A and B are shown apart, each in its own frame.
Chain A
Amino acid sequence: MGSKDIILYLPIYIVTGFIESGKTTFLNKLLNDCNRVGTASLLIQFESGEIKFTDKYGNVDVMTFSKKDVEQHKDYIISTITDFLNQYRVDEIWVEWNGMLTFSVIKELFSNITLSCNFRIMKVIHIIDAERLDSLLGRTGAALPEQIYNSNIAVIRNTTGNGPRHVQKIIRSMSPGVKIYGIKDTAKIRKEIYSKNGHPLFYFCFSIVSLIIIFWVLLPHYFPDGIFETKLVNVFLGIILQAVPFLTVGVLISSAIQIFIPKNITDYKFPKSTGAAMMCCILSGFFLPVCDCASVPVFHSLVKKGVPLPAAIAFLTAAPVVNPVSIMSTYYAFNRSFYIAIIRVGIGILSSILIGIFFILRPSGKEILQGCSDGIMCNCGYCGNSLPTDTKIKTRIDFFLKHSRTEFFGVFRYLLVGSFISALIQAIGIKPFQFQNGAGFALSLFLMMFIAFILSLCSSSDAIVARSLCPNFSLGAVMGFLVFGPMMDIKNILMLSSRFSKKFVWKLLLFTFIGCYIVIFALARPLLAGR
């Protein structure tokens, strides 16, 4: 147990969860353990539910504050806790946090308590009622998503095993790296609570060292002429240096929209007739500089607002292709070629109309939506959920920087991996993809769309990667990369499946693929002949 070690800091364990999610029940079970008798604990409750905490072994002191205290008498709370800690020996602090209060409040509270030793938040455990999560996320505001985002361990109640897969998916999408357990796995949970994860810095340094070994020792050893390495690194750096500025611009614009423009502006402008709404959706793509990551949240809110599904899908698929940022980057990537940019936009629009028509012919019902809130669209932990309404311009700029930064960090990884695969393909010099005849084109188009799907590049910079693939693929096939890539990729599928039913996501993927394939196969070669 952690308490047996020499303590340089006071460990804090926080249990969060919505009202009646079973926090106290969980704590009753966890803290009343015969192995914990020697551990002096202080339980601070910020909520008084129906079930009371009962101290079986006399090692847990309980302190209770109401939500009102937190909001109005912070000094009282701080002084009470400080006094207690100065008087009594405490090995662990446990906090039962109020489901309606954001996590940042507790951080603030503890940062105001000054003691001889430091505090450290060790683990945050979030209790989730599997039955209620969907409905709760839709209407409980900012606190719940933020609590989930900040949790290390998610405990799922009211279910068998680790809970339904879609619940797990939602939690994972909201809180990357979270460990999920069923409520019955008390032993596992206890182990996880006291387990010391390897220090993240260790993995960081380890990766850097292994990179250095690969590039300084292994590659020169196995490729002594240096040509492979030279080409790999040069191509890689070339793509990165080209893509980073565009990604930066894309992230800045999409963040500006999320922070500076009220959300419902995109919601009420769409007409209700399917055809007109579809055209309207596609046209709005031209004026909304959102890349594929940003179009998924907008798509979700469109569907929720009752925009016809085919129209919303037309937006989802068209917006990343026709938006100004990707038009600009296509134009530059292909040597200032308006023609290529126009072809890309044209094929993108036709494909999205076709995909929309597929959904008119084979409609999906209402069950596609999995209840979720708007606040968790972006897992950056800043946007949506915690943006205050009375925002001053300074706070907004601060949020803007935070949001764009987090978004950049998030997307840059995908970009890096994508560029590296692209550079690797070129350094190895895979040539068998070079087909020009009908059958070959069909295959190479499929390959390109597959690669685009795997690479998950941001639509604001994928044109540059596509251009770099040009020597190895015909331009018609590259068009598949340019059109299908922004519409669907691993990243988007992950984002979509956290909000929509699995069946719908697969259907959407299939229809999008077929729609793009048909349009590109029919049009790309005649339009790009001789180019």
Chain B
Amino acid sequence: MAKFNLQAFLEFLCSVFLAATMFYLAISGKYLLYVTNRMFMYLFLASAVMFAWAISEIPQICIQQHKIHVMHCLALIMPTLLLFTPHYNIDSTATLFPDHTKASYSVNGQDFPVTADKAAAIGKKQADFSVNSNNMNKISASKKNDPNILNCSSLGTNKSNISKSSDTINNNVYNFEDNKTNFTDKSSSTTTTNKKQLAIKNNKDTKEHILNTNNVSSIDIKENSPAEAKKSDSPNDNESSNIHYDDSIIEQFRLKKSKDGSIDVTDEMFYPWISEINKNLKRYENINIKIKGFIFKDPSNLSANEFVISRLLMYCCYADLTPCGLVCEYDKSSSLKKGKWVTVTGVIHIGKYDGQDEPQITVTDITPAKKPKYEYVYPYE
């Protein structure tokens, strides 16, 4: 008898390929481009089982089989083949979401999905946005009122003298079209920007004091901030004294502010920070933030001077990638090219989105940045 079983051999070969592919993806971290980080163990498991199947096939290879089916092996080898197709184009990821994409680009006051129900709530929200066009119109209508609301609040809290920091505002404009940096000293910025900036300064000093006395521990902010705030006579701080903050995200991810009280969002902590800022919005009002992401523009929901500093959030797999980030106010938004990776420095203020309070950034500085190693963010630890 001819002692070779083609079907068994091909099954063996293709199983090994599939097992190796999954193993490689898991080990190299490339699986993160397709599925979320919680699939890591599952991929290992599946790869191990697949390998066991391949091993169990070996004795069969030497047993003749007159009836041979091989087309199912084609299915097994498909994922491996497709992995080598020229499908991952580095810079086109952001452009996959064209301007008319109706997506929520903010977690919008929702809690960080530590618990199942909350995660579902966010997931649902996202799904709803994509189907409900009436809702979107309302959002864009409410967006237009935003600047007024913002101006009122920032003017009310601003009590410092203007001369103190009139020359500190440097708006670095990056010219994306020509692909070269072009720094412009913007001393003649609008008064609203000035005032906001000052309000931040004022508030930042107080916070800084608190932080210094409490050993720069973010958890300590929760315990002592209201008490400290009562001592200070800033009306801004008095407002926040009654608010109870939920620190679950801070504790879970050990989020820490910088020594000067500002927030420097690292690549890994993008989503935790966004969630935390959305959750405890009042705590972060007028705090400086430095955040990296790509520029996402959505003309149907954002006005001309706005863009979203965003990253793509993966709930389940590549199929459900959604932009997620913070709305930025920036006068020269129109000169920014969508999809470019930038580091935005700015100040958090409370804006409105769909009638709800939402953190937004008043941009003070934009510099080009390199895409992070892991491009997407995942709502799981």
Judge whether B152 is part of the interface by a CB distance below 8 angstroms: no
B contact residues vs A (CB 8 Å cutoff):
1-3, 6-7, 10-11, 15, 18, 22, 25, 31, 33-35, 38-39, 42-43, 45-46, 49-50, 52-53, 56-57, 63-64, 66-79, 81-83, 85-89, 92, 95-96, 113, 115-117, 119-125, 127-128, 130-132, 315-320, 379
Proximity bits, A471-482, B CB within 8 Å = 1, else 0: 111110000000
User: Is B85 in contact with A203, judged by CB distance below 8 angstroms?
Assistant: no
User: Is A245 in contact with B70, judged by CB distance below 8 angstroms?
Assistant: no
A contact residues vs B (CB 8 Å cutoff):
9, 107, 110-111, 118-124, 150, 152, 176-177, 200-201, 203-204, 207-208, 211-212, 215-216, 220, 225-227, 229-242, 244-246, 248-249, 252, 331-340, 398, 401-402, 404-405, 408-410, 412-413, 416, 422-423, 426, 434, 436, 464, 467-468, 470-475, 528, 530-531
What CA separation (Å) do A408 and B319 show in the bound complex?
24
Contact of A240 among B68, B79, B121 (CB under 8 A): B79
User: Is A248 in contact with B49, judged by CB distance below 8 angstroms?
Assistant: yes
What CA separation (Å) do A152 and B89 show in the bound complex?
47
Contact partners of A464 in chain B: CB under 8 A: 316-317
Interface CB pairs A-B, < 8 A, 26: A119-B1, A120-B66, A203-B70, A204-B74, A215-B85, A229-B86, A232-B87, A234-B318, A237-B34, A240-B79, A241-B79, A242-B35, A242-B317, A249-B45, A252-B49, A336-B113, A336-B120, A337-B117, A339-B117, A402-B56, A412-B76, A416-B78, A468-B317, A470-B320, A471-B319, A474-B127
**With A111-B1, A236-B82 as contacts: A410 and B72 at CB distance below 8 Å:** yes
User: Is A231 in contact with B113, judged by CB distance below 8 angstroms?
Assistant: no
User: Is A238 in contact with B34, judged by CB distance below 8 angstroms?
Assistant: yes
Given contacts A248-B49, A338-B116, A436-B131, 4 further A-B contacts (CB under 8 A): A119-B1, A201-B6, A252-B49, A409-B76
Contact partners of A338 in chain B: CB under 8 A: 116-117, 120
6 shortest interchain CB distances as A-B pairs: A337-B120, A238-B317, A531-B124, A238-B318, A233-B87, A468-B319
B66 closest partner in A (C-beta): A121
User: Is A124 in contact with B67, judged by CB distance below 8 angstroms?
Assistant: yes
User: Is B117 in contact with A226, judged by CB distance below 8 angstroms?
Assistant: no
A124 closest partner in B (C-beta): B66
User: Is B87 in contact with A229, judged by CB distance below 8 angstroms?
Assistant: yes
User: Is A226 in contact with B57, judged by CB distance below 8 angstroms?
Assistant: no
User: Is A468 in contact with B6, judged by CB distance below 8 angstroms?
Assistant: no
Contact partners of A245 in chain B: CB under 8 A: 39, 42-43, 45-46
Contact partners of A119 in chain B: CB under 8 A: 1-2
Contact of A339 among B76, B77, B120 (CB under 8 A): B120
What CA separation (Å) do A252 and B53 show in the bound complex?
11
User: Is B319 in contact with A248, judged by CB distance below 8 angstroms?
Assistant: no
> How close is B66's CB to chain A, nearest CB, in angstroms?
4
User: Is B25 in contact with A241, judged by CB distance below 8 angstroms?
Assistant: yes
User: Is A398 in contact with B56, judged by CB distance below 8 angstroms?
Assistant: yes
> How close is A395's CB to chain B, nearest CB, in angstroms?
12
> How close is B259's CB to chain A, nearest CB, in angstroms?
36
Specify the main secondary structure of chain B where it touches its partner: helix
> How close is B52's CB to chain A, nearest CB, in angstroms?
6
What CA separation (Å) do A531 and B122 show in the bound complex?
8
**With A150-B67, A237-B79 as contacts: A423 and B92 at CB distance below 8 Å:** no
A234 closest partner in B (C-beta): B318
User: Is A241 in contact with B34, judged by CB distance below 8 angstroms?
Assistant: yes
Contact partners of A237 in chain B: CB under 8 A: 34, 79, 82-83, 318
User: Is B121 in contact with A531, judged by CB distance below 8 angstroms?
Assistant: yes
> How close is A473's CB to chain B, nearest CB, in angstroms?
8
Contact partners of A229 in chain B: CB under 8 A: 85-87
User: Is A176 in contact with B69, judged by CB distance below 8 angstroms?
Assistant: yes
Contact of B50 among A110, A232, A248, A249 (CB under 8 A): A248
User: Is A152 in contact with B42, judged by CB distance below 8 angstroms?
Assistant: no
Contact partners of B10 in chain A: CB under 8 A: 201, 204
Residue with the highest number of chain B CB atoms closer than 10 Å, among A122, A215, A240, A241: A241
Contact partners of B42 in chain A: CB under 8 A: 245-246
User: Is B53 in contact with A404, judged by CB distance below 8 angstroms?
Assistant: yes
What CA separation (Å) do A201 and B6 show in the bound complex?
8
**With A119-B1, A248-B45 as contacts: A239 and B121 at CB distance below 8 Å:** no
User: Is A207 in contact with B315, judged by CB distance below 8 angstroms?
Assistant: no
> How close is A37's CB to chain B, nearest CB, in angstroms?
27
Contact partners of B73 in chain A: CB under 8 A: 204, 409
User: Is A248 in contact with B92, judged by CB distance below 8 angstroms?
Assistant: no
User: Is A244 in contact with B46, judged by CB distance below 8 angstroms?
Assistant: yes
What CA separation (Å) do A370 and B5 show in the bound complex?
35
User: Is A468 in contact with B316, judged by CB distance below 8 angstroms?
Assistant: yes
Contact partners of B83 in chain A: CB under 8 A: 237
Contact of A200 among B6, B53, B124 (CB under 8 A): B6
Contact partners of B317 in chain A: CB under 8 A: 235, 238-239, 241-242, 464, 468
User: Is A239 in contact with B64, judged by CB distance below 8 angstroms?
Assistant: no
> How close is B101's CB to chain A, nearest CB, in angstroms?
10
Contact of B70 among A111, A201, A238, A401 (CB under 8 A): A201
What CA separation (Å) do A409 and B74 show in the bound complex?
10
What CA separation (Å) do A408 and B18 show in the bound complex?
13
User: Is B96 in contact with A107, judged by CB distance below 8 angstroms?
Assistant: no
Contact partners of B25 in chain A: CB under 8 A: 241
**With A208-B81, A216-B86, A338-B117 as contacts: A111 and B122 at CB distance below 8 Å:** no
Contact of A227 among B56, B95, B113 (CB under 8 A): B95
> How close is A211's CB to chain B, nearest CB, in angstroms?
6
> How close is A343's CB to chain B, nearest CB, in angstroms?
10
Contact partners of A475 in chain B: CB under 8 A: 124, 127
User: Is A334 in contact with B123, judged by CB distance below 8 angstroms?
Assistant: yes
User: Is A211 in contact with B35, judged by CB distance below 8 angstroms?
Assistant: no
> How close is A421's CB to chain B, nearest CB, in angstroms?
13
Contact partners of A244 in chain B: CB under 8 A: 18, 22, 46, 79
Contact partners of A335 in chain B: CB under 8 A: 113, 116, 119-120, 122-123, 315-316, 379
Contact partners of A405 in chain B: CB under 8 A: 11, 15, 53, 56-57
What CA separation (Å) do A379 and B158 show in the bound complex?
77
> How close is A510's CB to chain B, nearest CB, in angstroms?
30
User: Is B89 in contact with A107, judged by CB distance below 8 angstroms?
Assistant: no
Contact partners of A336 in chain B: CB under 8 A: 113, 115-116, 119-120
**With A226-B89, A226-B92, A339-B117 as contacts: A118 and B132 at CB distance below 8 Å:** no
User: Is B56 in contact with A333, judged by CB distance below 8 angstroms?
Assistant: no
What CA separation (Å) do A198 and B235 show in the bound complex?
85
A226 closest partner in B (C-beta): B89
Contact of A107 among B63, B77, B86 (CB under 8 A): B63
What CA separation (Å) do A88 and B121 show in the bound complex?
81
What CA separation (Å) do A201 and B5 show in the bound complex?
12
What CA separation (Å) do A110 and B3 show in the bound complex?
11
Contact partners of A200 in chain B: CB under 8 A: 6-7, 68-71
Residue with the highest number of chain A CB atoms closer than 10 Å, among B38, B115, B132, B320: B320
> How close is A425's CB to chain B, nearest CB, in angstroms?
10
> How close is A46's CB to chain B, nearest CB, in angstroms?
17
> How close is A197's CB to chain B, nearest CB, in angstroms?
9
What CA separation (Å) do A122 and B89 show in the bound complex?
49
A528 closest partner in B (C-beta): B124
